[in-house]
Every structure is written in structure tokens, then in C-alpha cells.
Structure 1
Amino acid sequence: MADASQPRLARADEAPAIARLIDAAYQPYRDLNIALPDVSGGVTDAIEHRQVWVMDNLSGVLMLSTTPPTAHLMNVAVASQARGRGLGGVLIRFALKQAQDAECQDIALATHVDMPDNVALYAHLGWHETERDETRVMMVRPLP
């Protein structure tokens, strides 16, 4: 039996609910007039490629590519009703473990320049900024 407190691979039939969760998680940023890209696009394809993990009750989602040498943290989203429970940390730690298990040397991500709290959070968790453009901050974290 799977551990409900750990992420599991998403199922194809969950794609619409996962896309809604992601869109809802980013809505507060859109409400601040931050022009975000399509944050939930590609969910169906990512599920097919085994790149999407969810908390068992769909309270959180992780999209992650683990093709060496660099893993890519594509998305982490937590449902509004589940915020403050540490699910984001569970998902990020899971991503790091998956990347290590895939023998990746590092894990990269991109976040939005108008989301400085995200940049600060990832910096606190060991990522460092590698590049910045008009809309994105690219960051990387070495893996042991």
C-alpha cells in the first residue's frame, strides 16, 4: 500500500484536476497582474512521460524531469486549502531524491522575476541564480 504522505505518480484521468490545481495555485499571482506563462500546459504529456507526481488526495502536484545530467523542477503547486501544512517541502524533497536516484548532477528551475518570495525560498533551499531575463529567473542546485 502506498504511503499517503508521499507523492505518487499521477494517472492520466487526473490531468484535468491537476491542471485546475496548478491554475488555482498561481491565480493569486495573476490577481497581482503578474503576467505568467501557461502554468498548467503540458500536464497530459508530462503524465504520459511519468513526470508528474501528486499527493494522494490531489492537494499538491510536482512536475519533474530527471534526465541526466540535469533534472528540471518544472512545477510545484499546492492547493489553497492545503497550504501551510508542509506539502511544498515534501514535494521539493521528493524531487531532490528523484533527481539523485536518477543520477543527475544538479537540479534546475525557472521562476518568475515578479515572484521574489519564490526566488528567496529556492535560494534558502540551496539553489543559486544562474541567469535572469525580463520574465524569468533561472536557478540551479548541485546534488550530492
Structure 2
Amino acid sequence: MADASQPRLARAYEAPAIARLIDAAYQLYRDQNIALPDVSGGVIDAIEDGQVWVMDDLTGVLMLSTNPPTAHLMNLAVASQARGRGVGGVLIRFALQQAQDAGCENIALATHVDMPGNVALYTHLGWQETERDETRVKMVRPLP
């Protein structure tokens, strides 16, 4: 039996629920009048490409591309009822391990410039800012 505390690959039939989870997780930022792009678009395609992992109870989702030399953390969302319970940390550690196992040398991400908490979190976790424009902060983290 799979460990329920570890992410598993998402299944196609879960795409609508995953999109709702992502949209709900980002609603906090929309409520602050932060203009976000479509954060849940492409979920079904990413699932079909094997790029989406979920917690078994659908409290968290990770979208990750691993094409060496660089992995891309495309999206990470945690359900509001699971915030503060370590779900995000599990997903980030899993992403780092997946990227390393795939032979990637680093892992990149982009977050919104109006989400300084995200920039601070990823900086704390070893990512470094590489580029910034009007809406995005691009960051990269080397892998061991």
C-alpha cells in the first residue's frame, strides 16, 4: 500500500478537483487584487504528461517538469484546510528529489512579483532570484 503522506501521480479523472484546489489556493491572492494568470489551466495535459502529483487526500498538488538539465516547478498549491500542516514542505522535498532522480542539475520556478512571501519562502529554501519583470520573479536552485 502506498504511503498516504507521500505524493502520488494524479489520475485524469481527478483533473477537475485538482483545478478547483489550485484555483481555491490562489483565491487568497486574488482577494488582495493581485492579477494572476490562469493558474489551473492545462491540468489535464500535465496529468497526461506525468507532471502532476497529489497528496492522496487531495490537500496538495505539485506540477513539475523534469527535463535535464533543468526541472521546472510549474505549480504548487495546498488546500486552505491543510495549510500549516507540512503539506507544502512534503511537496517541495518531493519535487527536489524527483528533479535530482531525473538527472537535473537545478530546479527553476517563477512566482508573482506581488507575492513577496513566496519569494521569501523559496529564498529560505535555497532558490536564488535570477530575473524579475513587472509580474514575475524567476528563481533557480542548484541540486546536489
Q: TM-score if structure 1 supplies the norm length?
A: 1.00
In the TM superposition, structure 1's runs of 4+ consecutive aligned residues that sit over 3 Å from their partners are none
- Offset from partner CA, 1:18-55 (integer Å, 9 cap, x none): 00000000001000000000000000000000000000
What are the residue-to-residue correspondences of 1:61-76 with 2, within 5 Å? 61-76=61-76
Say whether 1:14 aligns with 2:14: yes
Name the counterpart of 1:25. Answer: 25
Aligned residues: 144
Alpha-carbon RMSD across the aligned residues, in angstroms, is: 0.3
Say whether 1:54 aligns with 2:54: yes
Name the CA distance, whole Å, in 1 between partners of 2:135 and 2:44: 25
Name the CA distance, whole Å, in 2 between partners of 1:84 and 1:137: 24
- Offset from partner CA, 1:110-143 (integer Å, 9 cap, x none): 0000000000000000000000000000000000
| SS of alignment partner, residue 131 of structure 1 | strand
Name the CA distance, whole Å, in 1 between partners of 2:117 and 2:4: 29
**Identity of paired residues, percent?**
87
Q: Give 2:70's aligned amino acid.
A: T
Q: Give 1:36's aligned amino acid.
A: L
Name the counterpart of 2:120. Answer: 120
What are the residue-to-residue correspondences of 1:91-110 with 2, within 5 Å? 91-110=91-110
| SS of alignment partner, residue 67 of structure 2 | coil
Name the CA distance, whole Å, in 1 between partners of 2:127 and 2:86: 19
Q: TM-score if structure 2 supplies the norm length?
A: 1.00
Structure 1 residue runs of 5 or longer lacking an equivalent are none
